[in-house]
Amino acid sequence: MPNPILVFVENKDGTLKKGAIEALSEAKRLSDALKSEVVALVIGNNLGSAAKEPAFYGATKVLTVEGAAFGHYTTAPYTKAMVAAFNKVKPDAILFPATLNGKDLAGSVAGALGTSALQDVISINADGGTLTARRPVYAGKAIITVKALKAPSIISLRPKMFTAAKSDQSKQSQVEKLDVAIDANDQRVKVKEVLKAATAKIELTEADIIVSGGRGMKGPEHYKIIEELAAILKAAVGASRAAVDAGWRPHEDQVGQTGKTVCPTMYVACGISGAIQHLAGMSSSKCIVAINKDPEAPIFKVANYGIVGDLFEVVPALANELKKNQG
């Protein structure tokens, strides 16, 4: 049997991240094809039920690293924990969710093991026993197929591109605690404070629906209508760079080549022209809806559905119609 697949099970105070479940599910699929097994690594200070859950998605073994030094993510201690798990199970591949911390860790672990990571991968192929992965480059303007020349393959999976398996709560697995010694050298970075967003926002990269506003919004005060539409659709709110640079929206809301890459089920672009750098970040959305008063706007070339019109009339009307529909 080939060596196992190791999965970094990112959790927040014991709750598994969506991306971690997707990574476990994909690891299970690959391990079935490769006839290997899935080992999960759970790191934190307060693991709660996080050590039990990987079994529900197919992990046959769970390693845990617990302690005060792991309460908040910092690169060095988490890297040390991953390397300890690597030395223990000698996996052929290590999977991470391509969340902000998952990508940070994947790169760092790659460095520690003398190799490169395949980041933000959108599909993995295990035919013939060799792993190859596809990942977007040039912000999605092209896709490359890559393979690691050196074991292990270190791969982070773009959120929402891999199907999460149904959890099977009857499954259990062996749990083993790993002792990882953290010294002063690993603690040169200290987390002082966590600043939460003012309102509990839906993460752009995890959202099923995104409503985005661009320069056509004319000012920060008008985002009220975008937020109202987003609330009805249970959507996240995004923005073009023009809106961010004007100071109407925070930087973390920017979608595009120098903002977030998103692939929701539906992306509603309001008052966004569809510049190449904006399209780069959102054109893999499953369904694109555009509202723009300029019928020549390039956004209409990629939109599944477009309405030519004034967003200040169309967006509230759309919100109303949807509300009516929901009854």
Ligand X SMILES: Cc1cc2nc3c(=O)[nH]c(=O)nc-3n(C[C@H](O)[C@H](O)[C@H](O)COP(=O)(O)OP(=O)(O)OC[C@H]3O[C@@H](n4cnc5c(N)ncnc54)[C@H](O)[C@@H]3O)c2cc1C
Binding residues for ligand X (CB under 6 A):
214-216, 240-243, 254-259, 271-273, 275, 277-278, 281, 291-294, 297, 310-312
First to last CA, the chain: 56
Instruction: Name the minimum Å distance from CB 140 to other proteins.
Output: 6
Distance CA 89, CA 75 (A): 21
**Number of residues forming the site for other proteins (CB under 8 A):** 95
Asked if 303 touches other proteins (CB under 8 A), the answer is yes
Return the bridge partners of 61, or none.
Answer: 39, 174
Q: Give the nearer residue to other proteins in terms of CB position, either 168 or 294.
A: 294
Looking at the Cβ atoms of 181 and 191, the one nearer to other proteins is 191
**By C-beta, is 58 or 300 nearer to other proteins?**
300
Only one of the segments 61-69, 88-96, 162-170, 293-301 lies at the binding site for other proteins (rule: CB under 8 A); that segment is 293-301
Which residues fall within 8 angstroms of residue 198, CB to CB, at 6 or more apart?
none
Nearer to other proteins, 55 or 154 (CB): 154
Strand partners, 290: 269, 306
State the binding partner of 196 from other proteins, ligand X, none, CB within 5 to 8 A by kind. Answer: other proteins
Six token digits for residue 177: 């605690």
Min dist. Cβ of residue 296 to ligand X (A) = 9
Distance CA(281)–CA(147), nearest Å, equals: 24
- Most distant CA atoms of the chain, gap in Å: 62
Interacting residue with other proteins among 13, 168, 276, 294 (CB under 8 A): 276
215 binds, among other proteins, ligand X, none (CB under 5 to 8 A by kind): ligand X
Please identify, using beta-carbon distances, which residue of 40 and 288 lies nearer to other proteins.
Answer: 288
Interior CA angle at 121 toward 117 and 126, to 5°? 90
In whole angstroms, what is the distance from residue 246 CA to residue 74 CA? 33
Q: Which is nearer to other proteins, 203 or 228 (CB)?
A: 203
Please state, in angstroms and rounded to a whole number, the distance separating the CA atoms of residues 79 and 177.
16
188 near other proteins (CB under 8 A): yes
Distance, in Å, from the CA atom of 14 to the CA atom of 190, rounded to the nearest integer, reads 21
Closer to ligand X by Cβ: residue 30 or 243:
243
4 is in the binding site of which of ligand X, other proteins, none (Cβ under 5 to 8 A by kind)?
A: none
> What's the min distance (Å) between Cβ of 230 and ligand X?
17
Considering only the stretches 30-38, 45-53, 167-175, 283-291, report the one whose residues sit in contact with other proteins under the rule CB under 8 A. 283-291
CB of 98 to ligand X, least distance (A): 18
Strands 117-121, 123-125: pairing is unpaired
For residue 242, which of 278, 206, 207, 267 has the smallest C-alpha distance? Answer: 278
Residue in the structure block whose two tokens are 């992965």: 133
Q: Are 97 and 76 in contact (CB under 8 A)?
A: no
From 94, 106, 145, 148, select the one nearest 123 (Cα to Cα): 145
Site for other proteins in 26-85 (CB under 8 A): 72-76, 79
